[in-house]
Amino acid sequence: MTTASALQQRWRTVVAPLLPDPDPTWQQLATHYNEPHRHYHTLDHIAACLGWLDHYRPLAADPLCLELALWAHDVIYDPHAADNEARSADWFAQQFAVSHLTDQQRARVHELIMATVHPHPPTDPDMALLQDIDLSILGADAKLYDLYEGWIRREYDFVPEEAFRKGRSAVLESFLDQGVIYHTAGLREKLELPARENLSRALENLRD
């Protein structure tokens, strides 16, 4: 089973109790994540996030809202824009305006999606877990992390090299300047040290 087909089946399982027909929304979601300008913010990223969620699901107070937020948090991704998270949250609100979610659940998913604007100090454990999962790539093994940096560069291929290096360096430094990158104990134990090593190495490469 391909990543896309496995994700589609999972989407149906999660969303079928919420919408009369989950497939039209899946088609929209998949179309967005398969846009040609995306190299990192794709369905593979969502699959990786869901894998982390499955591992740490027992920690989640509201695993449904957490999963829905992970599905939708990058559905709108325009590297030229600064409001992707807000537009992603709005997309979710529109798709689930008529659903079996409560108003409180819809508001919670919106809040969680907006929490993926980094840095955004988490205000509760589920928000912390969502953010840590979204940033898990920072603590990947060095080979995968280096691929990630290349994918991000391709997504910003319209930015001149000098400007990209300056902007990307500022982003990486902002993570390194945080007291901790990961707020969930389990992910911090696994990922904090390799993330800092990856970020430091990437900064050195940008300064070469």
Tokens of 3: 């990543």
Answer yes or no: is pLDDT of 169 > 70: yes
Answer yes or no: is pLDDT of 178 > 80: yes
Residue 139 CB neighbours (<10 A)? 23
Tokens of 59: 């920690």
pTM for the predicted model, two decimal places: 0.96
pLDDT for the residue numbered 1: 59
pLDDT digits (tens, 9 = 90+) for 99-125: 999 999 999 999 999 999 988 889 999
Question: At a CB cut-off of 8 Å and minimum separation 6, what does 131 contact?
Answer: 115, 116, 118, 120, 122, 183
Fold of 1-134: Hypothetical protein af1432 (1.10.3210)
Beta carbons of 43 and 30 less than 8 angstroms apart: yes
Residue ranges per structural domain of the chain:
1-134, 142-208
Q: Which residue has the tokens 């205000």?
A: 123
pLDDT for the residue numbered 24: 97
Integer Cα distance of 48 and 17 in angstroms? 24
Q: Mean pLDDT, to the nearest integer, of 158-164?
A: 98
pLDDT digits (tens, 9 = 90+) for 20-77: 999 999 999 999 999 999 999 999 999 999 999 999 999 999 999 999 999 999 999 9
Answer yes or no: is pLDDT of 181 > 70: yes
